[in-house]
Every structure is written in C-alpha cells, then in structure tokens.
Amino acid sequence: MQQFTVIGAGLVGVCCALHLQREGFTVRLVDKGAPGMKASFGNSGSFGTASCVPFALPGVLRKVPKMLLDPTSPLKLRWGHVPKALPFFLRLVAASRPSRVEEIARARNALLVHTHAGYAPLIEGADAGQWVSDDGLLMTFESEAAFANAAYALDLRRRNGVHMDILDGNEARQIEPALSKKVIKAVSLPDVHRTIDPWRLCDALARDFVRRGGEIVAAEVKGFEIGADGPNRIVTGRGPLDVDRLVIAAGVWSRPLAAELGTSVPLEAERGYHVMFGPQEFGLKRALVSADRSVSLAHMHEGIRATGVAEFAGPDAPPDMRIADRVMRHARELVPGLKGEAASKWMGPRPSHPDSKPVIGRSPRHRNVYFAFGHDHLGLTMAGITGKLVAELATGKPTTVDLEPFRPDRF
C-alpha cells in the first residue's frame, strides 16, 4: 500500500490523515506547527450544519463597498492588500447572482448533511466525545429591520431542509437568560452541535492518529521536486522528504503550494478574531450568533469565547487587536453579564474562496496529488466529511458526495 503525506495538520488535514489511515494507507502529517494551532485553534466551535448560506448574497455589490468604508463594519480590508484581493471580490460579486447562490447553497448543504457521518468514527476512535456538545445555537436579532434583512438567508436554509424555530425576545431569554433585553427575536437551530474546545478536539484526533501508527513531522514545506509521475519529494526546512501520494490541506497556505503544482485558485485569508473571557458566574446554554453585531459567543472549556469580523489581509500580516477589542465590546452588549477583561485575544486566517465552497478533489495536473482546502468558515464542520471523501478518492470508491461543484479547476 502506498504512503500518503498530508500537508497541513489542522482539523481538515488530521481528518484526512485518519480516514486514509483507516483505509490501510501509511500516512504522514507535515506541518510547521503543532496540530490544530492555526485557524482550527480559535474558531467559534460550532459545527455549522445550518450554514448552507454562502458569504455572497444578492445585493452584495451594493453592500460591500459601504461596509469596507464603515469603521464599525464587521468586514475589513487592509488597503495595502487591495491589488491582491480585487480578483477575489470581482468573483465574489459574480457568485452573488440568485441562481449561483441557490447552486452554492445546495453544494454546501451536500457536505453539511454528512457532518456526523464524517466525524462519528473518528471521535469514537479517539475517545474524544467529551469535547463535543449538542446544545444547539440561537441566532439573535435586536431590530425588526435586522430580522427582515435575514429573510432571504433564512428561507434559503428552509429550502435546504434546516430545522428552525422563530422565537420572540422573551422566549429566547427563557432558553438563554444571559441575553440582553435588546434582543427582540431569535432563531433557534437545535440541530447545530459544537465543540467546547476546537484545539483539544484536534489534539485528541491527532494523538489517535499517532497511536494508530501515523507520523507527524514538524517542518515547513518550501516546495516540491517533480518526477515523471508527479511530485516525488517535498522540500522542507528540515530537508527533503520522499513522497508517494500527497494531500494539500494547508488552509490559506495551500494557495502557493497548489500554484507550484500547476493549479491556480482565488483563495484569500479571511482573518477572524476571538476574545476569551475567563470563567463566569453563569454558563451559556446555547451558542449565540448576533445578526446585528456579527459576533458569536459560546461557552468553552476554559470560559466564554467571542468571535467575529472578516478581515482580508495577508495570512501572515500582523493582527490588529483593536478589532478584537471591538469584538469584546459587542460581546458585552449581547451578554451584559460578562465580567472581567479578556483573558486572551487571538487572530486566525480562514481560507475562503469567492464562491464559499472548498476545493476537494484530485489535482488536474498530477494524479498523485489531492486537494482539500478553502472551507470558508466551515473547516471544523466539514473536516470529517472532507477526510472521508479524500479517502474514497484514494481507494477508487464512489464518493459519498458528488465532487463536481468542488473541482480544483472550476475557477
């Protein structure tokens, strides 16, 4: 059986490695950092099974320029990054046509409905169930205008089979007493699960991978040596590594790796920020998403985490922690009982394509290379099913999901 080398040890890469391992392959993970320490580390923790709605909705051409100029907006673009990001935003506008939005939502949903099937054997095998909860999620609204603006996205979810319950503010506070009195409506999404610590979940899965004979190599991938049948060696900061088959699952850093292998993708770093509050006198009963404030809150293993903002900049550009401070202020407005200053602040670059879909499939140029990256805000959610699909491709089995919408060469 040939060996697989998976580049990238976030949740997507780790799940790819575990599923390949379960098919009998010898597997090696390569990452310059510890497993789960980049974008996987700091997300909101929700398995976004209701997140079929793409980033670009009809009317985005009218809204995005205003948002980029508004200092209080949850969408940020560093002006020095404009020349690089412009092609992404032009494709984003093209993806916002109603027919494209419906098509994208169906494709995303095709992956989301298999979230549990992709993860269940991995979580069970790693005895990692302690890090997963089925508490559900509340989407909150502080004005009738905000609720009306969400009508299209809510209908899109309904058309894709998402179970939702509409609540008034008092009903929402019966479920989550910590909510601000400003909340006048909410949407309950009971089927959304979450992890109480994304990093600990990833670490548990990575440890299980090693227990089953997998190898984790701490090294930065610099490039490839190409043979007659595709890349046969990766060049790392610790020297070359011979490879048989490759999976590129390196998040935002997949773009230059894919380009060196002959595939160009419009992948951008959509950087998110989080603030961790220490232990509180109360625990949130549901994860929260504020439509008005574009922040999420969730009870985590070590406190309450507030996440938010989409900042377009280079993946390795220094963070602007003033953005994290803004997330903290909005979190206090939504949940007034939050006490204390931030215990920690964090920024992580989420890999996003303009059509809000990942790339999953074989390289168009090299038959021994597989791509699994660009999951937008849904790397945590889609990691299990992505790994399952990569393993199915590797063994020649029919894939659980039609991969045509996720082709690497669709751009």
State the average pLDDT over residues 194-209.
Answer: 97
Mean pLDDT (whole number) for 371-387:
97
Pick from 56-70, 155-169, 305-319, 371-385: least confident: 56-70
Query: Is 375's pLDDT higher than 80?
Result: yes
Q: How many residues make up the chain in this entry? A: 411
Mean pLDDT computed over 153-174: 97
65 pLDDT more than 80: no
pLDDT of residue 1: 64
pLDDT band for position 61 (cuts 50, 70, 90): confident
Stated as kind and residue range, the H or E segment containing 312 is strand 303-312
pLDDT tens per residue across span 276-300 = 999 999 999 999 999 999 999 999 9
Tokens (6 digits) for 408: 């690497």
- Give the whole-number percent of the chain exceeding pLDDT 70: 100
- Position 154 scores a pLDDT of 97
Question: What is residue 63's predicted lDDT score, i.e. its pLDDT?
Answer: 78
pLDDT tens digits for 223-234? Answer: 999 998 899 999
| CB distance 193 to 380 below 8 Å | no
40 neighbors 144 (Cβ within 8 angstroms):
no
> What's the pTM?
0.96
**pLDDT (tens digit, 9 = 90+) per residue, 102-154?**
999 999 999 999 999 999 999 999 999 999 999 999 999 999 999 999 999 99
Q: How far apart are CA 142 and CA 334, in angstroms?
A: 9
Which strands, in side-by-side order, build the sheet including 193-195? 46-47, 193-195, 132-133
Residue 322 has pLDDT above 90, yes or no: yes
CATH top-level class for 3-406? Answer: alpha beta
Residue 356: alpha-carbon gap to chain centroid: 10
**DSSP characters over 76-140:** EE-GGGHHHHHHHHHHHHHTTSHHHHHHHHHHHHHHHTTHHHHHHHHHHHTT-GGGEE---EEEE
Predicted confidence at residue 82, as pLDDT, reads 85
> How high is the mean pLDDT of the chain?
95
